[in-house]
Amino acid sequence: MRVTKRELHELIQTKLSRAGLSADHADVVADVLVHADARGLHSHGAMRVEYYAERIVKGGTNVNPRFVFEKTGPCSAVFDGDNGAGHVAAKQAMQEAVNIAKENGVSVVGVRRIGHSGSLSYYVQQAAREGLIGISVCQSDPMVVPFGGAEPYYGTNPIAFAAPGEGNALITFDMATTVQAWGKILHARSKHEPIPDTWAVDERGVRTDDPFKVHALLPISGPKGYGLMMMVDVLSGILLGLPFGNQVSSMYHDLTEGRNLGQLHIVINPSFFTDLDTFRHNISKTMCDLNGINPAPGFERVLYPGQNYDLIEQENEVNGIEIVAEVYDYLVSDVVHNNTYDHKDPFAT
């Protein structure tokens, strides 16, 4: 079924508030989740609400966090999220990174001790709307086999980038360092649909198309994705003095405990390197140039990176956002959570 952005935001905010999150924090989390659903990234949207609600109720999300922002140099800082809602900490930390970059040209802000923060595209677009380049990386559950390995070590460890073009134009790139994000498999489970057998392996290490048999994910492009997820883990874990690799806490292991995850924001002010108007013009020209390239056989057109999600978002502004029926039924129900996730393995249904 389809709902408007406003209705979806209100449903999510209400559910999270009933779970115990403050109205302000629930508003931010809802904003990030609706952003994902509007762009067709349902794996990071409303389907996550029940998990968040259960963790809030059981104490694993600090509903009264003491955020601490510490400048460690002219262009560097650390934001401690006190295991509050990751979305709120990540958004506030990005705003601090934006402020530093506007003044000093660049900024690197580490975000320590947070929970799951949703789609990284939200935060890099936050910087790009201010006329800046945004880059963000974060660590996640160990559920990916390293290249040549049979046991999970790293997480999906996503990377996101956004830059401003002319007017309101943004070019955005957001990817997991696995062939697909774990949330995409959750989405397939919610729809009871098979997955491509290039995404994941079963408990024997054999590729599977059954989302319910997934035991580990596969890195994108083999050793190249493996190297990228290592880089993300260093930048968002080891660099911030946090658990890393297979020490990173599982999303479902114990919902009474904070997850202590890390994220790193890098913001660059183009005006410190070139003429800003020229930079923005050339970003827009890049987008236009890519659209103008002759498509290969089997393709209707060439899209610039992230344009497929831009087009989905534009369509959903008109037609509403499609939500899986069982997710919608949960959102409109009186149930806060169904005790579904606690103490499950990383591949809980």
What is the CATH classification number for the domain harbouring 244? 3.30.1370.60
* The total number of structural domains that make up the chain: 1
Query: Which stretches of the chain score pLDDT less than 70?
Result: 346-349
Predicted pLDDT at 190? 80
Q: Is residue 296 part of a domain?
A: no
Predicted pLDDT at 129? 98
Q: What is each CA distance from 72 to 69, 110, 267, 280, 291, in whole angstroms?
A: 10, 10, 16, 31, 42
Helix (H, G, I), strand (E, B) or coil at 117: coil
Q: Is residue 284 part of a domain?
A: no
Q: How far, in Å, CA of 34 to CA of 4, rounded?
A: 10
Residue range of the domain that includes 7? 2-275+310-332
Over the chain, what is the mean pLDDT? 95
Q: Is residue 15 part of a domain?
A: yes
Predicted pLDDT at 43? 87
Q: Is residue 251 part of a domain?
A: yes
Scan for tokens 């999600």, then name that residue.
309
Q: Is residue 66 part of a domain?
A: yes
* Residue 265 φ then ψ, to 5°: -105, 135
Q: How far, in Å, CA of 335 to CA of 53, rounded?
A: 10
* CB-facing half-sphere around the CA of 98: CA atoms within 13 A: 18
Q: What is each CA distance from 331 to 7, 16, 49, 326, 328, in whole angstroms?
A: 11, 10, 8, 9, 5
Q: Is residue 285 part of a domain?
A: no
27 φψ region: left (φ > 0), alpha (ψ -120 to 50), beta (else): alpha
215 catalytically annotated:
no
Q: How far, in Å, CA of 32 to CA of 4, rounded?
A: 15
The one-letter amino acid at 326: E
Q: How far, in Å, CA of 141 to CA of 176, rounded?
A: 12
Q: Is residue 300 part of a domain?
A: no
DSSP label at 145?
A: P
Q: Which of 35, 42, 116, 215 is catalytic?
A: 116
Q: Is residue 291 part of a domain?
A: no
